């Protein structure tokens, strides 16, 4: 790993396991074992007060260290800490959309094979403009149903409610997905995730625990959906 810029190193050094720089490393190691961030793909970002902690690009996610983290000021969008010889994540503007438009505390991007397969199945069965929809699956109860007028999460989806996850088309460059992601957020104001066809998924939550829970629940549902299609079972 590259040595870090000594300026503002205090932002990423902490003995607290719950510190964002430590948590991102821990999460990415876990996500690697699930096949979500292999080959340096994927990423995670956490907002802590007015600081955004962002995993770098092009680094093996299971080997990341806290000193590899980029730190950005939420308001100015300027980097407070840039490790030398490491590149900022191309996911950064998409992470920022989740923080600024949805008030997220954590955003996770994975290259889950199940997420990719679901986007292809939806396109084949329902067309390129359709979103993923499924109901009457227990794990749906791990997904929030949206926010109330006060901006707070309005509870979780129920077993008999329908989960909808919008799908956007992939682009050659990750940052070019930003406009489509923001448009999906506007069209589906209750969503906490956006699928990217032939690419993966972005999932966000109010905090790390919720984002992780939602990401795991969705991946379970996507795998189940793929297996259901093999058996000719309907999603809705």
Q: Which residues are annotated as a binding site?
A: 91, 109, 111, 199
CA–CA distance, 215 with 194 (Å, rounded to integer): 11
For residue 89, the 8-state DSSP code is P
Closest CA to 135 of 109, 114, 163: 163
Joined tokens for residue 48: 């802590």
The answer to whether residues 82 and 3 touch, using CB atoms and an 8 Å cutoff, is no
Contacts 24+ apart (CB under 8 A), 98-103: 98/202, 98/204, 99/45, 99/47, 99/52, 99/74, 100/74, 101/182, 101/185, 102/185, 102/192, 102/204, 103/151, 103/206
Q: Please give the annotated binding residues for substrate, written as ranges.
A: 91
Closest CA to 73 of 8, 14, 151, 16: 8
Give the distance, in angstroms, between the CA of residue 20 and the centroid of all CA atoms in the same chain. Answer: 15
- Considering 125, 135, 138, 216, which one is annotated as catalytic? 138
Does 138 participate in catalysis according to the annotation? Answer: yes
Angle, CA of 227, 199 and 208, to the nearest 5°:
85
Q: Give the residue numbers marked as catalytic.
A: 138
């Amino acid at each position: 790993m590259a040595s870090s810029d000594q300026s503002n190193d205090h932002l990423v050094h902490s003995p607290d396991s719950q510190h964002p720089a430590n948590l991102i490393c821990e999460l990415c190691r876990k996500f690697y074992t699930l096949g979500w961030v292999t080959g340096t793909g994927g990423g995670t970002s956490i907002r802590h007060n007015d600081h955004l902690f962002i995993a770098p690009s092009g680094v093996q996610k299971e080997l990341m260290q806290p000193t590899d983290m980029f730190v950005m000021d939420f308001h100015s969008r300027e980097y407070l800490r840039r490790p030398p010889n490491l590149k900022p994540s191309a996911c950064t503007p998409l992470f920022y959309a989740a923080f600024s438009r949805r008030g997220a505390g954590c955003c996770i991007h994975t290259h889950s094979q199940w997420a990719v397969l679901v986007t292809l199945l939806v396109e084949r069965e329902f067309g390129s403009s359709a979103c993923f929809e499924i109901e009457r699956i227990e794990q749906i109860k791990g997904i929030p149903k949206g926010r109330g007028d006060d901006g707070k999460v309005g509870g979780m989806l129920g077993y008999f409610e329908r989960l909808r996850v919008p799908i956007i088309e992939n682009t050659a460059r990750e940052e070019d997905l930003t406009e489509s992601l923001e448009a999906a957020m506007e069209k589906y104001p209750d969503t906490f995730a956006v699928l990217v066809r032939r690419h993966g998924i972005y999932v966000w939550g109010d905090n790390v625990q919720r984002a992780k829970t939602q990401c795991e629940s969705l991946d379970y549902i996507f795998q189940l959906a793929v297996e259901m299609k093999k058996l000719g079972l309907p999603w809705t």
